[in-house]
Structure 1
């Protein structure tokens, strides 16, 4: 199934970045959350750190592009640093550093304005180099089976609220929670609506391993080497 290129994309992106290869679930836009402060990494953009000779961002895009109907980046500051991707870069519009919920809200608002044909947004952290290649399909299955509007990833006993599916028509409620209630914890908001977890095993490695420190980057390098680039 071929879908049109999202408005606002500059340059020519490879076909895999704008066309989902295995349809079978609702059209879903992917947002790469790159707005973190990276304090434990010493500052800078974590997505541009390398694992196995490739940036984490490159790994995330390579895994998600075939699963999504377009990708956007959520990042604050100078958007040109991600311009090489050819994807729209969307900043938070909630005052202050409001955390990942603000980035998710920005993505929901952008989707409603620019891709009204899409009702679902997948959010992912851009410090996770080994994301599953069946992430979107399994999250949709989880929320459909549970009869709830939201889903997140889980590996072992650990849930990953930032890596999840969000329904675009819930954006007004999310904005109220952020702006009026000053809510910052993802779990508090998702509990209002119902969230299902899709479970992945921790072996041979955690697919949601995230690199927050230089030591984590070294461990990610070792995982990529042991598992032939994972």
Structure 2
């Protein structure tokens, strides 16, 4: 049975989820751009999504031969933060509806990385999002936004998002910690059960008389060594056979 925190499985799942989300976002944003008077720079948006696809495929290949899953997790989180920031900027910055992707990355970070990284990811998301909004507000980079809030309102938006990101980091980190505790308990329970099964097997096999157990359907489920010798059949020959045929 796999651990619920098998990093390789989580990374493989993350790549698949990323591709699904990218495809969904591409379709939605292109539909909005076609049906409305959106200032979305379509070519730039498509280029950024294709770049994200390229990174996703790169991580698929990387996962197949590189065993440093913790480093891969960190790389994927940082890459996603950078690309989400790019997409948020292209889709309007303060007007963008895609800043919900930041909390998703924070949640992923809480699952794949130590709990402190949840807060670091939240802080990085705040810095990147705030930087985009500030740069477009002061005209340092071109703005694709249709609204232009006052500086005070803009800063309020930035800090509201900061508190939201920190709240997500706290809750996601708490949940991930609880799940890890459950995972450890399951491992201990599974180990104890395996030990108990081994003791039971040793007792059965050490009995000098022949012993056969069957299921409710009358088919053999266990036969000890003495029973195999008495019947002159191997365990493989006996298991699953109807007991009345002996």
The TM-score with structure 1 as length reference comes to 0.27
- Bigger-Rg structure (1/2): 2
Larger relative contact order (C-alpha < 8 A, sep ≥ 6)?
1
Q: More helix per residue: 1 or 2?
A: 2
